């Protein structure tokens, strides 16, 4: 596929990620392409979730949907973090009303033998690379395209729990009972992730986000042992491999407020924060070396429109000028009115230029 792309018309988010001053705050929204959009639901009526992920034309179409409605500063490729567990041989189904479900989750360390490591990412995940290249062409330089993956601990916890869990007690029990096997799995997932992200950049991704969505259920010691070293390795190995083709990277470790200072020092250019921490506190813990991303409470979008605008301005005041990528503090919920999201996006733009 041709990976010579049209010149960029808006590279605001890339400049902020690289530490440059800009005259406007960029904004994008986690899960901006998804179920709260009626146009997504239309496509979803016809196709299974993972069929959409595996069909570059459909993944591209859905990636572009929110850009046609809102004045966003980035697109994020439509896919899911669970494509890596699939690539190592696990079955994952998207069950309506229940979310992702693994019919045969990992039960004990013996099950690790059933997984296929190493993975040939071009063979198993080439469909994502194709979707990225196609989307870069269709974007025609409008805004940068974000690639992503799930972080090793978050993937490991899904592979053991077999789906969502409020406690992650099965996955956490591995960390305490089988620490060596846990490290073995985390290391193998780290290696696939580096290959996978490298392929995404070569296909055209211009910024990468690593989602450590399940950081918040670990105590500080487990986080330091089972998350941090792998997050660091993903970033550093990838940047080393890509050399002058390296792209800026965002780490979003949801619920890791007590470890935020550590996240600033492992090579990422941007640290994402959830809504449970005040922006000024996050900035003082993290320091000025990286840009921050966040952090409006996704539930704030249920409020009246003028309250959404007010909360957005307060959030921006607390982050301070510069080094900010505005976003929600987690993915948008499926029952949010898209017009309310528009208030958030437009307020970021108008207020950052006032």
Ligand X SMILES: Cc1c2[nH]c(c1CCC(=O)O)Cc1[nH]c(c(CCC(=O)O)c1C)Cc1[nH]c(c(CCC(=O)O)c1C)Cc1[nH]c(c(C)c1CCC(=O)O)C2
Cβ atoms < 10 Å from Cβ of 257: 16
Min separation Cβ 293 and ligand X, Å: 13
Cα separation, 63 vs 53, whole angstroms: 10
User: Given candidates 35, 69, 187, 342, which one binds ligand X under the rule CB under 6 A?
Assistant: 35
Active site (catalytic) residues: 31, 35, 44, 80, 158
User: Given candidates 133, 182, 190, 213, which one binds ligand X under the rule CB under 6 A?
Assistant: 213
Min separation Cβ 30 and ligand X, Å: 5
Cα separation, 153 vs 108, whole angstroms: 16
Q: Give the residue with the Cβ less far from ligand X, 27 or 76.
A: 76
* 275: three-class secondary structure by DSSP: coil
Beta bridge partners of 101: 93
User: Given candidates 14, 67, 74, 82, which one binds ligand X under the rule CB under 6 A?
Assistant: 82
User: Given candidates 19, 126, 331, 338, which one binds ligand X under the rule CB under 6 A?
Assistant: 331
Q: Dihedrals φ, ψ of 121, to 5°?
A: -65, -30
The answer to whether 182 touches 226, Cβ cutoff 8 Å, is yes
Q: Give the residue with the Cβ less far from ligand X, 35 or 187.
A: 35
In angstroms, the Cα distances linking 213 to 110, 122, 174, 235 are 26, 26, 18, 17
Stretch near ligand X under the rule CB under 6 A, chosen from 28-36, 183-191, 282-290, 321-329:
28-36
Beta bridge partners of 210: 149, 251
Stretch near ligand X under the rule CB under 6 A, chosen from 80-88, 272-280, 301-309, 344-352:
80-88
Among 230, 232, 282, 278, CA closest to 261: 282
Cα separation, 149 vs 84, whole angstroms: 8
Stretch near ligand X under the rule CB under 6 A, chosen from 74-82, 128-136, 237-245, 292-300:
74-82
Stretch near ligand X under the rule CB under 6 A, chosen from 92-100, 110-118, 131-139, 277-285:
92-100
- Residues 144-163 as x/- pattern, contact with ligand X by CB under 6 A: ----x---------------
Q: Give the residue with the Cβ less far from ligand X, 28 or 174.
A: 28
Type and span of the H or E element at 347: helix 338-352
The answer to whether 285 touches 261, Cβ cutoff 8 Å, is yes
Binding residues for ligand X, rule: CB under 6 A, are: 30-35, 44, 49, 76, 78-82, 94, 99-100, 148, 164, 211, 213, 254, 331, 334
């Amino acid at each position: 596929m041709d990976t010579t792309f049209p010149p960029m018309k808006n590279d605001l988010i890339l400049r902020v990620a690289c530490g440059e001053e800009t005259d406007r705050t960029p904004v994008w929204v986690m899960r901006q392409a998804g179920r709260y959009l009626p146009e997504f639901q239309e496509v979803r009526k016809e196709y299974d979730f993972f069929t959409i992920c595996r069909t570059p034309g459909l993944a591209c179409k859905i990636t572009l949907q929110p850009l046609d409605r809102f004045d966003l500063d980035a697109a994020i490729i439509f896919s899911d973090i669970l494509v890596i567990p699939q690539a190592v041989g696990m079955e994952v189904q998207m069950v309506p009303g229940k979310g992702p479900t693994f019919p045969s989750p990992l039960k004990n360390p013996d099950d690790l033998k059933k997984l296929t490591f190493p993975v040939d990412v071009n063979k198993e995940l080439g469909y994502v690379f194709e979707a990225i290249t196609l989307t870069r062409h269709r974007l025609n330089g409008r805004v940068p395209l974000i690639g992503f993956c799930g972080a090793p601990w978050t993937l490991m916890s899904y592979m053991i729990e077999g789906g969502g869990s409020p406690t992650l007690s099965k996955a956490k029990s591995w960390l305490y009972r089988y620490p060596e096997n846990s490290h073995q799995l985390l290391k193998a997932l780290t290696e696939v992730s580096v290959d996978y992200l490298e392929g995404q950049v070569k296909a055209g991704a211009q910024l990468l986000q690593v989602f450590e969505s399940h950081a918040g259920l670990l105590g500080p010691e487990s986080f330091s042992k089972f998350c941090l070293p792998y997050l660091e390795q993903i970033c550093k190995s990838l940047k080393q491999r890509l050399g002058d083709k390296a792209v800026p990277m965002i780490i979003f470790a949801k619920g890791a407020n007590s470890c935020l200072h550590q996240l600033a020092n492992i090579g990422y250019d941007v640290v994402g924060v959830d809504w449970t921490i005040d922006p000024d506190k996050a900035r003082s813990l993290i320091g000025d070396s990286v840009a921050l991303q966040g952090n409006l409470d996704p539930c704030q979008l249920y409020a009246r429109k003028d309250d959404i605008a007010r909360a957005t301005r307060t959030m921006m005041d607390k982050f301070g000028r510069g080094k900010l990528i505005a976003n929600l503090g987690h993915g948008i919920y499926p029952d949010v009115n898209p017009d309310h999201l528009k208030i958030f996006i437009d307020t970021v733009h108008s207020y950052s230029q006032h």
